[in-house]
């Protein structure tokens, strides 16, 4: 903490206005801090690690564009959240089934946006941090908080591993793009993927079981993509991360609000959670500012697709490779992957009836 920041905090407390505390400097916590600061509040943000985006270290990920009807970048801008980070819109890709048949993944609008995660300039995490700092948010790195005495928001990320994504970051001459393999032999219960943006790549197995054999699945993933695409990896660096999946019923912990993956705001089917994290941070902050019901807000905006993703997870986990092949075929017949995904994540009477069964299954698995 700088001397000026320390002086500002002392003056603020002396004047009778203790800062609002936010725990966790991931997308959820940073978005909450940004929203509070934009409304003139003093904000103190705690991050246990020594830098923003510490657990990702240059990981390429997808910011999904299908769980809502509006373009995700427009949604972020409307919420006052910066989009000043490097990105690559993905309108065309390739999916492979377990039998190596390829299917086009294409859409008239971006299916997702490739972004970099981590502490470097250009990453999504760094852009959010810079916006928070520009608004006067006081950020304490290396500050681990287990509880808050006053008003605040908790956004510390996953506390258990329902799924892991393990593989490599590397340099490559491969053109920008994304490729997907749905095969339990590469990623049990999940999927293998290759993402490339501006000469940098991420290849990983996202698995929902079989964690003890992760090295085997990663090697199979690399071998499969090399055979299918003939790509090379330079300066490869091993990396892994974990995600936690459960169906939330509330996003409150006592008097505090919870945002992001700590609250269960995650896509249990495909593992995309950045959009939920950012928007939940914004909603948590707004509920504090406007004295509204946070649970009612997130349930109205996010509960439907989160519930449906959990149901899809259970169904396709049971169907295995044949179910994944059906998914790839179905979206190819429609010829618009984003439209297909919005249908897949959309509400229906049958899905509502099946949801309690899926919740029981997820609870038992957890």
* Per-residue model confidence as pLDDT tens digits over 100-146: 999 999 999 999 999 999 999 999 999 999 999 999 999 999 999 87
pLDDT, average across residues 74-81 = 98
164, two tokens: 């892991």
Tell me which of 1-5, 205-209, 250-254, 307-311 is least confident. 1-5
Kindly tell me if the per-residue pLDDT of 7 is higher than 50.
Answer: no
Q: How far apart are CA 231 and CA 120, in angstroms?
A: 25
User: For residue 3, what pLDDT is reported?
Assistant: 40
* Per-residue model confidence as pLDDT tens digits over 243-258: 887 778 999 998 899 9
CA distances (Å), origin 266, targets 47, 63, 68 = 21, 12, 14
User: For residue 10, what pLDDT is reported?
Assistant: 39
Kindly tell me if the per-residue pLDDT of 87 is higher than 60.
Answer: yes
Q: How far apart are CA 330 and CA 258, in angstroms?
A: 37
Nearest-CA neighbor of 43 among 297, 295, 285, 259?
285
User: For residue 4, what pLDDT is reported?
Assistant: 45
Nearest-CA neighbor of 245 among 312, 193, 297, 300?
312
* Per-residue model confidence as pLDDT tens digits over 12-67: 443 446 899 999 999 999 999 999 999 999 999 999 999 999 999 999 999 999 99
State the pLDDT confidence band at 149, using cuts at 50, 70 and 90: confident
pLDDT, average across residues 138-161 = 89
User: For residue 363, what pLDDT is reported?
Assistant: 61
User: For residue 365, what pLDDT is reported?
Assistant: 60
Kindly tell me if the per-residue pLDDT of 296 is higher than 70.
Answer: yes
* Average pLDDT value for the chain: 91
Taking every pair of Cα atoms in the chain, the longest distance, rounded to a whole number of angstroms, is 67
Top-confidence residue, 351 or 227 = 227
State the pLDDT confidence band at 362, using cuts at 50, 70 and 90: low
Say what the pTM is.
0.91
State the pLDDT confidence band at 242, using cuts at 50, 70 and 90: confident
Nearest-CA neighbor of 115 among 27, 228, 46?
27
User: For residue 32, what pLDDT is reported?
Assistant: 98
State the pLDDT confidence band at 158, using cuts at 50, 70 and 90: confident
User: For residue 194, what pLDDT is reported?
Assistant: 98
Kindly tell me if the per-residue pLDDT of 170 is higher than 90.
Answer: yes
């Amino acid at each position: 903490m700088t001397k000026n920041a320390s002086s500002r905090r002392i003056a603020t407390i002396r004047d009778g206005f203790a800062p609002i505390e936010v725990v966790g400097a991931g997308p959820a916590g940073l978005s909450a801090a940004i929203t509070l600061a934009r409304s003139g509040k003093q904000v103190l943000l705690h991050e246990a690690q020594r830098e923003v985006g510490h657990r990702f270290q240059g990981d390429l990920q997808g910011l999904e564009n299908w769980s809502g009807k509006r373009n995700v970048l427009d949604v972020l801008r409307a919420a006052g959240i910066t989009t000043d980070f490097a990105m690559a819109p993905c309108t065309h890709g390739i999916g492979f089934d377990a039998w190596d048949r390829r299917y086009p993944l294409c859409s008239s609008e971006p299916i997702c946006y490739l972004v970099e995660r981590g502490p470097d300039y250009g990453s999504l995490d760094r852009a959010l941090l810079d916006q928070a700092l520009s608004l006067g948010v006081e950020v304490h790195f290396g500050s681990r908080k287990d509880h808050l005495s006053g008003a605040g928001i908790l956004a510390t990320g996953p506390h258990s591993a329902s799924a892991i994504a393990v593989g490599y970051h590397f340099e490559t001459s491969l053109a920008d793009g994304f490729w997907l393999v749905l095969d339990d032999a590469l990623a049990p219960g999940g999927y293998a993927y290759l993402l490339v943006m501006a000469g940098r790549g991420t290849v990983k197995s996202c698995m929902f079981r079989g964690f003890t054999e992760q090295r085997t699945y990663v090697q199979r993933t690399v071998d499969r993509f090399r055979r299918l695409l003939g790509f090379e990896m330079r300066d490869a660096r091993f990396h892994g991360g974990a995600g936690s999946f459960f169906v939330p019923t509330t996003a409150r912990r006592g008097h505090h609000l919870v945002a992001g993956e700590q609250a269960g705001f995650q896509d249990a089917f495909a593992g995309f959670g950045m959009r939920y994290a950012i928007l939940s941070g914004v909603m948590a902050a707004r509920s504090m500012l406007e004295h509204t019901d946070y649970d009612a807000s997130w349930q109205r905006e996010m509960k439907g697709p989160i519930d449906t993703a959990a149901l899809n997870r259970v169904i396709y986990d049971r169907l295995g490779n044949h179910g994944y092949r059906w998914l790839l075929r179905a979206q190819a017949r429609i010829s618009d992957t984003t439209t297909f995904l919005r249908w897949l994540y959309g509400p229906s009477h049958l899905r509502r009836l099946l949801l309690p069964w899926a919740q029981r299954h997820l609870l038992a698995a957890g």
